[in-house]
Structure 1
Amino acid sequence: MTKKKHYIHLYYGDGKGKTTAALGLALRAVGHGQKVVMLQWLKGRQDIGEVKAAKLLGKNFSIHQFGPNYFTWEHPPAGGPPEHKQLAIKGLEFLEKTISKTKYDILILDELMDAVVMKFIPKAKTISLIKKAAQKGEVIITGHKPIPEFVKLADLATEMKKIKHYFDKGVTARSGIEY
């Protein structure tokens, strides 16, 4: 069996920890001098911890957001407002440019699967870009609902399953913990 140089990781499910797992991997990589590029779909808030941390970590960690400046679950759209789709498409275009023009060791595609599930971006083109991205570096993908083609493409797939969550008791997202 031939050993691959770069692998595709997939973290999905209704449980907490998908983005957190990706960020933990990013922190470890930056600690080893590797370059991490993170693209976030459906997220656009500048006050979240990972955006603040990216500024502190310096040139080896960058985040690019393609979503509204509020948490999407705070304002659930009926089918998604048009600006969400426009931002998601910009994210896919940015991904294409990143693959062709940017050096990275780790590429994190946060909530990418959700943008596909919501039909904001085309599945076939997204899969093609993931394959190209993995030729240059490790690729980490997150999202809630698994897309069978993504699971098949992944070298590592982890389902984050909610057993219980304090959100169910009315606790809201907390700074430094959930964002």
Structure 2
Amino acid sequence: MGLEKGLVQVYTGDAKGKTTAAFGLALRACGHGLKVLIVQFMKTPDYGEHKAFRRLLPEVEVKTFGRKGFIHREGARPEDYEQARAALAYAREAVLSGRIDILILDEINNALYFGLLAEDEVLTFLKERPPQVEVILTGRNAPAGIVAAADLVTEMRQIKHPYEKGIKARKGIEY
């Protein structure tokens, strides 16, 4: 089956919903028999979506690249750079293999913001992908070059958030 033409989508902004929107697209695509690969940058497989997506194998595969804990912009470890490079290499191999229709690069915009990857490297990857592969890039701080290269850009804008009332992240809702 597959797509006739793949586009580049970016979900960015300071509000909740970027990953959730991308995963909704993955669910829809799976329902139509498309093969989806989700490559997560700077995350570990501790989130609820991993359990759910395991039920959708082989149509939806999730691969995480990251370590436990937070990364600070000035305090990235060598391991963080290695994980980001490994994530992009895994995505490249999958795209070039022809085994996927949709690629979600979850939190890649943050990896770019933290300097774990070079923007030119990601732009080259987007240009070299087969034209029938859809690519979705998520995360805050999408660089201008990524935004310019995209066919669709959605910015999530926070108006109100439960954190402001002291409500912590909830299992099954935020993670």
Report the TM-score when normalising by structure 1.
0.89
Hey, what does 2:29 align to over in structure 1?
Answer: 29
Whether the 8 Å CA contact 1:40–1:111 is kept in 2: the answer is yes
C-alpha distance in 2, partners of 1:42/1:116?
A: 11
Task: Find the aligned partners of 2:113 and 2:72 in 1 and give their Cα distance.
Answer: 15
Count of aligned residue pairs for this structure pair: 172
Q: Tell me the residue number matched to 2:65.
A: 66
Corresponding residue number in structure 2 for 1:16: 16
Q: Which residues of 2 match residues 71-86 of structure 1 at below 5 A?
A: 72=70, 76=72, 78-86=74-82
Distance 1:108 1:84, change over 3 A: same
CA distance in 2, matches of 1:60, 1:77: 35
3-state SS, counterpart of residue 100 of structure 2: coil
Q: Identify the residue that residue 95 of structure 1 maps to in structure 2.
A: 91
The AA in structure 1 aligned to 2:26 is A
5+ unaligned residues in a row in structure 1: which ranges? Answer: none
Of 134, 150, 167, the match for 1:171: 167
2:72 touches 2:114 (CA, 8 Å); kept in 1? no
Structure 1 stretch 26-35 or stretch 164-173: which is displaced more? Answer: 164-173
| Partner amino acid, structure 2, of 1:60 | E
RMSD of the alignment, in Å?
1.7
Contact in 2 for aligned 1:8/1:156 (Cα 8 Å): yes
Cα deviation digits, residues 70-91 of structure 1 (max 9, x gap): 4x3xx75643222212211111
User: Where has structure 1 moved over 3 Å in runs of 4 or more?
Assistant: 75-78
For 2:65 and 2:46, locate their aligned partners in 1 and report how far apart those are by CA, in whole Å: 15
CA–CA separation in structure 1 for the residues paired with 2:73 and 2:113? 14
Residue 106 of structure 1 is matched in structure 2 by: 102
Tell me, yes or no, if the aligned pair for 2:73 and 2:114 is still in contact at 8 Å: no
Q: CA deviation at 1:115?
A: 0.7
Between the two proteins, what is the percent identity of the paired residues? Answer: 40
Per the alignment, residue 52 of structure 2 pairs with: 53
